[in-house]
Amino acid sequence: MKKTIITVVGKDTVGIIARVCTYLAENNVNILDISQTIVQGFFNMMMVTDATLSPKNGGQIAEELEALGQEIGVVIRCQHEDIFNMMHRI
């Protein structure tokens, strides 16, 4: 399983979740877990996904999601689970 951590941060607007989830579904990326919150008008979402069945590699998915984020006014970052875990160790 190729787990990827996807984070989405920015000013809250209509359709952020829909656009990101549509991209993931179109590219056969499964959402395993999701957390979303809005704090004083700022949107924050974190997803654990499985890209095993996606025809695209992790780098391509990350680049396309970053471009999507720019289009909708948020910052979208993707990290492989191992990299995410190493960066967030105490």
CA 40 to chain centre: 21
Kindly state the percentage of the chain with pLDDT values over 70. 89
Q: Give the pLDDT confidence score for residue 80 in this predicted structure.
A: 77
Mean pLDDT of the 57-81 span: 94
Q: Give the pLDDT confidence score for residue 2 in this predicted structure.
A: 77
CB pairs under 8 A, 24+ apart, for 39-42?
41/11, 41/12, 42/9, 42/10, 42/11, 42/12
Q: Greatest CA span in the chain, whole angstroms?
A: 38
Q: Give the pLDDT confidence score for residue 87 in this predicted structure.
A: 65
Mean pLDDT of the 37-52 span: 96
27 touches 56 (CB < 8 A): yes
